Amino acid sequence: MGGHGEGVSLEFTPTWVVAGVCTIIVAISLAVERLLHHFGTVLKKKKQKPLFEALQKVKEELMLLGFISLFLTVTQGLISKICVREEVLMHMLPCSKQEAELSKHKNVTTTTTEHFQSLIPIVGTTRRLLAEHAAAEAGYCSLKDKTPLLSLEALHHLHIFIFVLAISHVTFCALTVVFGSTRIYQWKKWEDALADESFDPEAALVKKSVTHVHQHAFIKEHFLGIGKDSVFLGWTQSFFKQFYGSVTKADYVTLRLGFIKTHCKGNPKLNFHKYMMRALEDDFKHVVGISWYLWIFVVIFLLLNVNGWHTYFWIAFIPFILLLAVGTKLEHVISQLAHEVAEKHVAIEGELVVKPSDEHFWFSKPEFVLFLIHFILFQNAFEIAFFFWIWVTYGFDSCIMGQVRYIVPRLVIGVFIQVLCSYSTLPLYAIVSQMGSNYKKAIFEENVQVGLVGWAQKVKNKRASNGNEGSSNAGTTPSPPGAGAGFAGIQLSRLTRNNAGETTQNEITPAHVNNH
């Protein structure tokens, strides 16, 4: 009787049960939705627009998961009724059927699986229900002397895996940014110390002290001489330096000064730390989402997860190697900035100033580093999500989990990646990514950004109308809103040539600002 009760349809289920279950599901869903809405309201009140946009990105991911869930639910009956010959399903299996049968006879996986089913009763119940439906679908295909292409149980497990993957990625990205921001916040004392130095800006320009380049702390830490040996030693030092003292006070002070001298000479007391934090928050919204190319990676992994290939083990080294490469490159950018000064000068008048440039980055694109960090975080979240999904669904001793000698290194690598990325690589990226040729829009306060966008659009429209008339005063444009306050000290102009060939001072264009 109890067995038949588990498979009863909705038309024979008491209405109070249906209403009660619906009430619980709707209540939980609304509670989560209102919690996210309240969190977004708090962020908007605190004017945390980048974090608010990141929250919107999380909502988009949840919406995508909801659509995937709905699609799988609606089509699972149709998919499970796709019948193929049994020999078609005998290739590229995650587990060997012979080994699975042997394990079943030895009762290897029973203990672990039953343990999790006792902790989460719904897992065991769901598997029994799915087994009943699977038997029915198998009967449908057996009448045709064929096998279902994908069983209902397999679809359910795939459904759960996609959900766990997305939640793990968002969680690990958030943890990385939180821990990384905590590390970056420790640099605030250096910014405060620089801000507390009272000096007259005009007197500072007049003062001409001599700096012995090779005695400067920044140069002594990064300059290893000239020649082929120095190149090898430089890369080696950059590799190891990411594990200890990735950013020192000398690094912070020198890179800060280089940024200010390049992009805002008129404002030597720019709060570089505050700008850097805003830029990092702005980048976070690009990292928290799961882009289409990351889903392609998931599909490729599921395709290559064949028994005996140990794909789950070898794939763990991809984010590990990439993370070490990114950390080494970021450290090497700092070394290159030091070498540029040390190779050209023995002593200089005034302070030691480095010159930011996109040429120091891969493909001359600082934003490419952010792309790699995005991939690394997703790959690491994928590894950990896959491990726990297999553990809960099939048990620790399942053949798809792999042998212990492959499991332990994967977990160690996953923890190492999370710690290193949080406390070294992300802080390094936060400061070194500012050493490009362009500054980011986060250099402006949010209200100034809005005014700048509107002003730039008006200028663009006016140029278009004046260009059609060919008037001689086409280069004359209105001043940006808030130019006296919000734009103080920022280098907003560049020299261009008008149609008459005369050099004129022109206003900022989108090419000056890196939108990332």
> How far, in Å, CA of 55 to CA of 270, rounded?
29
Averaged pLDDT, 82-108: 70
**Which of 58-72, 318-332, 347-361, 498-512 has the least mean pLDDT?**
498-512
Averaged pLDDT, 206-227: 73
pLDDT at 502 over 50: no
Tokens 């209105």 locate to 478
> How far, in Å, CA of 225 to CA of 488, rounded?
40
pLDDT at 484 over 60: no
More confident residue, 279 or 488: 279
**Which of 114-128, 171-185, 233-247 has the least mean pLDDT?**
114-128
Kind and range of the H or E element at 212?
strand 210-212
Tell me, what's the pLDDT at 323?
Answer: 93
More confident residue, 212 or 507: 212
Averaged pLDDT, 393-405: 76
Binned at pLDDT 50, 70 and 90, residue 136 comes out as low
User: Which tokens in the block code for residue 148?
Assistant: 């279902």
3-state SS, residue 349:
strand
Tell me, what's the pLDDT at 445?
Answer: 59
Task: Please give the single-letter amino acid code of residue 119.
Answer: L
Tell me, what's the pLDDT at 320?
Answer: 92
Tell me, what's the pLDDT at 267?
Answer: 74
More confident residue, 182 or 321: 321
By CB neighbour count within 10 A (0-12 exposed, 13-18 middle, 19+ buried), where does 509 fall?
middle
> How far, in Å, CA of 32 to CA of 431, rounded?
35
pLDDT at 391 over 90: no
Percent of the chain's residues with pLDDT above 90: 4
**Cβ contacts of 298 within 8 Å, gap of 6 or more:** 165, 382
Binned at pLDDT 50, 70 and 90, residue 63 comes out as confident
Averaged pLDDT, 506-516: 46
Tell me, what's the pLDDT at 456?
Answer: 63
Which of 82-86, 98-102, 183-187, 462-466 has the highest mean predicted lDDT (pLDDT)? Answer: 183-187
Tell me, what's the pLDDT at 324?
Answer: 93
Bridge partners (DSSP) listed for residue 210:
349
Residue 291 CB coordination number (10 Å): 14
Let me know: does 278 contact 50? Beta carbons within 8 Å: yes
pLDDT at 117 over 50: no
Angle at 379 between CA 378 and CA 383, to 5 degrees: 115
Tell me, what's the pLDDT at 344?
Answer: 81
pLDDT at 488 over 50: no
The mean predicted confidence, pLDDT, of the chain is: 74
pLDDT in tens, 434-459: 888 887 766 655 545 455 556 566 77
More confident residue, 435 or 133: 435
Residue 37 CB coordination number (10 Å): 12
pLDDT in tens, 328-368: 999 999 988 888 888 887 777 778 888 888 888 998 888 89
pLDDT in tens, 183-194: 888 888 888 888
Averaged pLDDT, 291-315: 82
Averaged pLDDT, 486-502: 42
Residue 480 CB coordination number (10 Å): 20
pLDDT at 483 over 70: no
Binned at pLDDT 50, 70 and 90, residue 59 comes out as confident
DSSP 216: S
Tell me, what's the pLDDT at 439?
Answer: 74
Let me know: does 350 contact 357? Beta carbons within 8 Å: no
Q: Is the dihedral of CA 469, 470, 473, 475 positive or negative?
A: positive
**Which of 46-60, 90-104, 240-254 has the least mean pLDDT?**
90-104
Tell me, what's the pLDDT at 138?
Answer: 56
**Cβ contacts of 430 within 8 Å, gap of 6 or more:** 180, 184, 276, 277, 279, 280
Tokens 């950018």 locate to 333
**Cβ contacts of 267 within 8 Å, gap of 6 or more:** 260, 488, 489, 490
Angle at 271 between CA 265 and CA 275, to 5 degrees: 100
Bridge partners (DSSP) listed for residue 348:
211
> How far, in Å, CA of 326 to CA of 24, rounded?
46
Let me know: does 100 contact 399? Beta carbons within 8 Å: yes
Tell me, what's the pLDDT at 515?
Answer: 54
Residue 251 CB coordination number (10 Å): 25
**Which of 294-308, 383-397, 487-501 has the least mean pLDDT?**
487-501
Residue 378 CB coordination number (10 Å): 25
pLDDT in tens, 232-248: 888 888 899 888 877 88
Averaged pLDDT, 387-408: 79
pLDDT at 326 over 90: yes
pLDDT at 432 over 60: yes
More confident residue, 111 or 384: 384
More confident residue, 116 or 455: 455
Averaged pLDDT, 403-420: 85
pLDDT at 421 over 80: yes
